[in-house]
Structure formats: C-alpha cells, structure tokens
C-alpha cells in the first residue's frame, strides 16, 4: 500500500517540549496538506504545500508551528514549546494537484498528547 504515511502515530510530551511529525505523501502527489483535529470536531486546515513551496497558512498556525517540505517530497510539522491546547490529532494529506475537485487522501494521523 502506498498511501499517505505519518510518523509517529502517537506522541506524549511534556509541556514546553518540542515535537516533530513526519509525513510521506503518495508518490507523485504535488499537493501536501496538514490538518488538525480535536475531539468531537472536524479537521481544521493548517497549511499546504505545492511541491516545496508553502502556499498558505491558517491563522491557527501560530508562530510556534513550522512546516517544511524540502525537495517537495516528505514534510515535517514542528511544534515548539508545546502547550496543553496543542493536544490533538495532526492529519497529513496529499492530492495530485490543486484542482478543487480532486480527492484528498489522508494519512492515519499523529496523535499528540501534551501533559
């Protein structure tokens, strides 16, 4: 199976620590997205890349959050100085290009618990 893969699947960290999540999109997909999902809510858009270029960032993405996609392949999402409010599932997704009718394929998510 060559779907979207995310690592780690679960992360427990102490408040104030930094965490990094990795996402490997479907091969040859140019678009890569990050979403955040909290309990009882739908996923919320954070940011997306077209190849290596980060094209849009949500207001949800505070200065403590940074995302990269070097070489237009895998992506990382780093959260610095974590807070309890950062506890959520971070979903990565990819699509072939930016056509708005394209299917977006999601990974299984990375659960973050900040204690």
Partner 1 sequence: AQSVTQLGSHVSVSEGALVLLRCNYSSSVPPYLFWYVQYPNQGLQLLLKYTTGATLVKGINGFEAEFKKSETSFHLTKPSAHMSDAAEYFCAVSLTGGGNKLTFGTGTQLKVEL
Residues that bind partner 1 (CB under 8 A): 4, 31, 33, 35, 40-45, 48, 55-56, 91, 95, 97-109, 111
Q: Which is nearer to partner 1, 56 or 83 (CB)?
A: 56
Q: Please say which residue, 80 or 106, places its beta carbon nearer to partner 1.
A: 106
Q: What are phi and psi of 83, to 5 degrees?
A: -120, 160
Residue 9 beta carbon to partner 1: minimum distance, rounded to whole angstroms: 9
Cβ partners under 8 Å of residue 7, min gap 6: 21, 22, 110
């Amino acid at each position: 199976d060559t779907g979207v893969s995310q690592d780690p699947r679960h992360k427990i960290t102490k408040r104030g620590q930094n965490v990094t999540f990795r996402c490997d999109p479907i091969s040859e997909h140019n678009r890569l997205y990050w979403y955040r999902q909290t309990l009882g809510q739908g996923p919320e858009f954070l940011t997306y890349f077209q190849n290596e270029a980060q094209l849009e960032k949500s207001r949800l993405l505070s200065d403590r959050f940074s995302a990269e996609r070097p070489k237009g392949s895998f992506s990382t999402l780093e959260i610095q100085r974590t807070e309890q409010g950062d506890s959520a599932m971070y979903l990565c997704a990819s699509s072939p290009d930016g056509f708005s009718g394209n299917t977006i394929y999601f990974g299984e998510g990375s659960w973050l618990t900040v204690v």
